[in-house]
């Protein structure tokens, strides 16, 4: 499998998040070509602000390997990681992050800030952006458009 195949798997996780009523972000962790962690956004469902797709996938991968360090792993995620997730990625020693769409409001892989580029940190993670960016961005735009439309409809029925 290649980056496109793995990002397609992450997009399937994003679709799962959407079906749960969450913002459609999905992530997978790959170790030596095998998917060992999957996650989709679930902060609303779990009442947990840390239940981002990346965090869920990293937790599952760490359990799979029996180690909190994931140095031979790659993370594929449909949206640029936030600062919380970037911290977890760096602390878990993930070797490579591949993300689809940029996040100009909270992106922590170059859009707003970039701890991955800070050579003062003791771990360096390679970052690749833009893999299937259009597909991910389209899914996010459609989700928020549908949410705004539903809110308009709800307001109409209340009045």
**CATH number of the structural domain 3-158:** 3.40.140.10
CA dihedral 153, 157, 158, 159 (to 10 degrees): 100
Asked whether the beta carbons of 143 and 23 are under 8 A apart, the reply is: yes
Mean pLDDT of the chain: 96
Q: Would you say residue 159 has pLDDT above 70?
A: no
Give Cα separations from 22 to 18, 41, 93, 117 (angstroms). Answer: 5, 6, 27, 30
- Answer yes or no: pTM beyond 0.85: yes
| Residue 52 counted as an annotated binding residue | yes
Q: 13, 54, 74, 80: which one is catalytic?
A: 54
- Residues 73-100 have pLDDT tens digits of 999 999 999 999 999 999 999 999 999 9
- Catalytic residue status for 9: no
| Residue 85 counted as an annotated binding residue | yes
| Residue 119 counted as an annotated binding residue | no
Q: Would you say residue 152 has pLDDT above 90?
A: no
């Amino acid at each position: 499998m290649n980056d496109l195949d793995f990002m397609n798997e992450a997009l399937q996780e994003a679709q799962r998040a959407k079906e749960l009523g969450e913002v459609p972000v999905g992530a997978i962790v790959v170790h030596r070509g095998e998917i060992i962690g999957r996650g989709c956004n679930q902060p609303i469902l779990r009442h947990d602000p840390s239940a981002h797709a990346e965090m869920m996938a990293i937790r599952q991968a760490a359990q799979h390997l029996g180690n909190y360090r994931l140095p031979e792993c790659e993370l594929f995620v449909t949206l640029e990681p936030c600062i919380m997730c970037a911290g977890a990625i760096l602390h878990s020693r993930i070797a490579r992050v591949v993300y689809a769409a940029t996040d100009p409001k909270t992106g922590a892989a170059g859009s707003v800030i970039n701890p991955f580029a800070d050579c003062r940190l003791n771990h360096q993670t390679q970052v690749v952006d833009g893999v299937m960016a259009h597909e991910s961005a389209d899914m996010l735009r459609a989700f928020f458009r549908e949410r705004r439309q539903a809110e308009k409809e709800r307001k109409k029925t209340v009045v």
